[in-house]
Copies of this chain bind each other. A is one copy, B any other.
Amino acid sequence: MARFTRLSSEDRRAQLMDVALAGLAKGGIQEFTVDRICAAAGVSRGLILHHFGSMAGLLAAVYARLYRDTTPDLTALRPETRIAALIEGSFAPKVFNRETLNAWVALWGQIANTPALRDEHRRQYQSYLAQVTEAIGALATARGRRVDAAAVARSLICLIDGLCLQHCLDPEAMPAEAAKEACRAFLAPHLD
């Protein structure tokens, strides 16, 4: 009988990212260690370095994965419905829960001091901002309004992040419906 299973590089990377992400969600950055992640994944300690080069490399990969998993993809939708979908998606139970947000906040806390992670953040954020900016511009055009789409998009993203942070630190103080309403209230004077 085989002593271990040999996976493709791609599959093993995905597994390790998932396990690491689950650890971050459950216990924050304290859970992000070689020992804990490898034990949880059922693999030996040497594997993370083999696939990611360093813990910082894994951290950056996990960040990209979290972005991909929790940021709604707006490109497939009709321009007029994209903003509504963004708000619904940002505060859906899959994303707007204590554990998932705990992973987000833990990663934010590392960005400023982990170059590989900061680079990944810049990349992801730029693409995210571009999507939201375009969606706001399209909606404004459809409604015959003139807005500074880039500025409104930046502010909306900040508001969403702040609402997520708040929910993570004290869930009862910021339920999903209140968060959605706050976003709509922010956008109304620009778009209605």
State the A residues within 8 Å of B (CB): 27-30, 98, 102, 105-106, 108-113, 118, 121-122, 125, 151, 154-155, 157-163, 165-166, 168-170, 173-174, 178, 181-182, 185-186, 188-190
Contact = CB atoms under 8 A, between A and B. Distances in A.
16 contacts: A28-B110, A28-B112, A30-B113, A102-B112, A106-B112, A111-B169, A121-B170, A151-B178, A154-B173, A155-B159, A155-B182, A157-B162, A158-B174, A161-B161, A185-B186, A189-B189
A121 B157 CA distance: 24
Contacts of A98: 112
Identical copies in the complex = 2
Nearest to A109: B109
Given A122-B170, A159-B159, A165 B28 contact: no
Nearest to A26: B113
Contact of A157 (B28, B110, B166, B178): B166
